Amino acid sequence: MKTNITLIGMPGAGKSTVGIILAKNLAYGFIDTDVLIQINRQKSLQDILDESDYLNLRKIEEQEIFKININTHIISTGGSVVYSDKAMSHLCDISTIVFLKISYSVMQQRVHNLETRGIAKADRQSYQDLFDERQSLYEKYAELSVDCDQPDQEDLARIIILELPDAYQGKDHGEF
């Protein structure tokens, strides 16, 4: 039985923040794969990009995903995880995949450091093109999609919990 919940989506969707709220509300552990990469590689995502390229960062991300062997955790992923069928297959095997969906305009409002955030994209690719390209990949893997343009992350966590499959509903979620 799947006991983890994996959050996918663009930068600014709220994967880390909503993930922490979900972990608290469900009494789960929390892992942010971007932070995992930075800890294990001892450098920032942007440093990895500056030293190599976006394809190397995606390869590193895939390697770190394969190491994840846990239960009852919220897993917040980097936005590019959906480019790896192998990584996503592993995540699908161990978790329910939730797509935190935002519009491009909301992403622009929330993320002010696109150039230095360590986003894995081709040099000549615009952020709009990257956004458009990823949407179908997120939809492909999502078992649940939640509109995250609204700003209240507590509400988003509550919506996700209520929309999760019945297997997650057996836990005592306490008062929200």
**Residue 172 forms part of a structural domain:** no
- The pLDDT tens digits of the residues spanning 146-162 come to 999 986 899 999 999 99
31 contacts 76 by C-beta, under 8 angstroms: yes
pLDDT tens digits, residue range 21-67?
Answer: 999 999 999 999 999 999 999 999 999 999 999 999 999 999 999 99
Q: Is residue 169 part of a domain?
A: no
Q: What is the mean pLDDT of the chain?
A: 91
Rg over CA atoms, the chain: 15
Does a structural domain hold residue 68? Answer: yes
171 within domain boundaries = no
Query: Secondary structure of the chain in the HEC alphabet?
Result: CCCEEEEECCCCCCHHHHHHHHHHHHCCEEEEHHHHHHHHHCCCHHHHHHHCCHHHHHHHHHHHHHHCCCCCEEEECCCCHHHCHHHHHHHHHHEEEEEEECCHHHHHHHCCCCCCCCCCCCCCCCHHHHHHHHHHHHHHHCCEEEECCCCCHHHHHHHHHHHCCHHHHCCCCCCC
Q: How many CB atoms lie within 10 A of CB 174?
A: 9
Q: Is there a domain that residue 138 lies in?
A: yes
Residue 110 structural domain: 4-164
pLDDT of residue 173: 46
Average pLDDT on 113-140 reads 91
Q: What is the CATH number of the domain that holds 141?
A: 3.40.50.300
Q: Is residue 173 in a domain?
A: no
Look at the chain and report how many structural domains it folds into. Answer: 1
Phi-psi region of 9 (alpha: psi -120 to 50; beta: other; left: phi over 0): left
Specify if 17 maps to a domain. Answer: yes
Amino acid at 153: Q
User: Across the beta sheet with 4-8, what order do the strands follow?
Assistant: 29-32, 73-76, 4-8, 95-101, 144-147
How far is the C-alpha of 5 from the C-alpha of 126, rounded, in Å?
A: 30
pLDDT for 113 = 80
Under 8 Å CB-to-CB from 164, ≥6 apart: which residues?
5, 96, 98, 144
Q: Which residues contact 123 (CB under 8 A, 6 or more apart)?
A: none
For 62-92, write each residue's pLDDT tens digit.
999 999 999 999 999 999 999 999 999 999 9
Q: Enumerate the β-bridge partners of residue 73.
A: 29
